[in-house]
Amino acid sequence: MGLFASLFRPSSTRPTAPEPVLALDGVIDEDDVARLSVEIRLDAKGEIPAVVPLLSPDAKGMVRTLKGDLLFDEAAQKSVLAKAADWGNDYCFDYGHAMLSPAPGSRPADNEEAAGWYRLAIDGTNLVTQGLSWIPDAADRLKARKIRYVSPAVRFDQKTRRVTEFINAALTNLPATKGMRPLVASRTNEPAPQETSMLKSLLSLLGLSSAATEDDALAQIASLAAFKKELVALSGKASAEEILSEARGWKTASAEVQELKKEVFALSGKTTPAEVLEDVKREHLGPVLEKLLRALDACLDEALSRAGLKDGDVTSVERIGGSSRIPAIGDRLGARFGREKVRGAGSLTAVAVGLGELARRRFLS
């Protein structure tokens, strides 16, 4: 036995459908508020749209509604168009699905009144109207914003939720389809409030003034994309995320250095770097350097783990850069890998020598 799944009270005289019927509008509960998206604007002549989207699935082919999701995929498209062709008649817009569920005490003539006529077509993945012609009275109501939304009524397979047949569409002010676009946004071509607010937020994020235009925003986005691409190329990193990760590391290291300076002053009892240098001794640096030495251990652990090596597998340790010549670092490396393995005669020139060798291979070989 068929199920009529509408928030309107079904007519007791309407025959039972072989498949569930879903009318995607009705009186919605307080918590079930439809989410609106960007409004469809009037054209340059102030006319209402000639093509109206009826079912607009997402990337997964689902039409999201307050009465459950429906599947409108390629199979559903073929089924709907095949049944429309077999029926052979024009479809109509009615008011509030009065044709499907007449209001108690209403006149039959009122329930059968059409607001517009059309045929069905597929545009991409969307089911849309084709050859739409509005009844003058309905067109006037739309332009005056007395009615703003379209609500389709469809049959669907109860197990798969796939749409199988399109019945009709109604003009309504209470759509159950989530993100339904209003037919008429305003009486002018001015952007809707949601669009204006979104553009202002975007301009602010891009560092542009509120007087900037949409074209200005697009130009700024293009410029930022080009800058990102050039930055990644110059850095030698694989992505902008790698650059950010390294920059965050520098920031953290800088903060640690400032904390170390405070510890040095506290331990020495001095207030300026010059005073500290007068009395600083090697034993004073031990507690201060301990945090850096622990960080060094962590880096070594990670490097060896990634390489699949143990401490005993290391045959030579090359110290690169001026900081590597700090005696405490040499002692730490020697204690871990063996003092005879720790080298650093060229620690101050190793980077330059390596770059020179890279240039020789690339340009002279």
pLDDT along the chain (365 residues), means of 10: 31 42 40 29 67 86 79 94 93 82 63 88 91 89 80 85 88 60 42 64 85 83 86 82 83 79 73 63 69 89 92 89 81 91 74 83 81
**258: helix, coil or strand?**
helix
How many of the other CB atoms lie within 10 Å of CB of 359? Answer: 10
Looking at residue 106, what is its pLDDT?
59
Looking at residue 197, what is its pLDDT?
72
- Domain boundary at 190, 224, 251, which? 190
Count up the domains in the chain and report the number: 2
Is residue 48 in some structural domain? yes
**201 shares a domain with 55:** no
CA–CA separation, 221 and 199 (whole Å): 13
Looking at residue 315, what is its pLDDT?
92
- Structure-token match 């669907």, residue found: 156
**166 shares a domain with 202:** no
**Residue partners of 265: CB distance under 8 A and separation at least 6:** 271, 276
Cα separations in angstroms, 80 against 57, 87, 340: 14, 11, 81
**203 shares a domain with 185:** no
**209 shares a domain with 164:** no
The amino acid occupying position 319 is R
Is residue 316 in some structural domain? no
Closest CA to 240 of 222, 227, 248, 228: 228
In the chain, what are the helix, strand and coil shares in percent, each to the nearest 5?
A: 45, 15, 40
**207 shares a domain with 155:** no
The answer to whether the predicted template modeling score (pTM) of the entire model surpasses 0.85 is no
The amino acid occupying position 196 is T
Is residue 257 in some structural domain? no
CA–CA separation, 8 and 18 (whole Å): 19
Contact 215, 202 (CB under 8 A): no
**102 shares a domain with 203:** no
**186 shares a domain with 41:** yes
**224 shares a domain with 184:** no
Q: What is the CA radius of gyration of the chain?
A: 36
HSE, side-chain direction, 13 A CA sphere, residue 240: 8
Is residue 220 in some structural domain? yes
CA–CA separation, 116 and 134 (whole Å): 4
Is residue 224 in some structural domain? yes
Residue-wise pLDDT tens digits, 281-305:
666 666 778 888 888 899 999 999 9
Residue-wise pLDDT tens digits, 3-37:
323 323 333 333 344 455 454 443 323 232 222 22
**155 shares a domain with 38:** yes
Query: In which domain, by residue range, is 227 found?
Result: 196-235
Contact 175, 119 (CB under 8 A): no
CA–CA separation, 49 and 41 (whole Å): 8
Is residue 320 in some structural domain? no
**181 shares a domain with 53:** yes
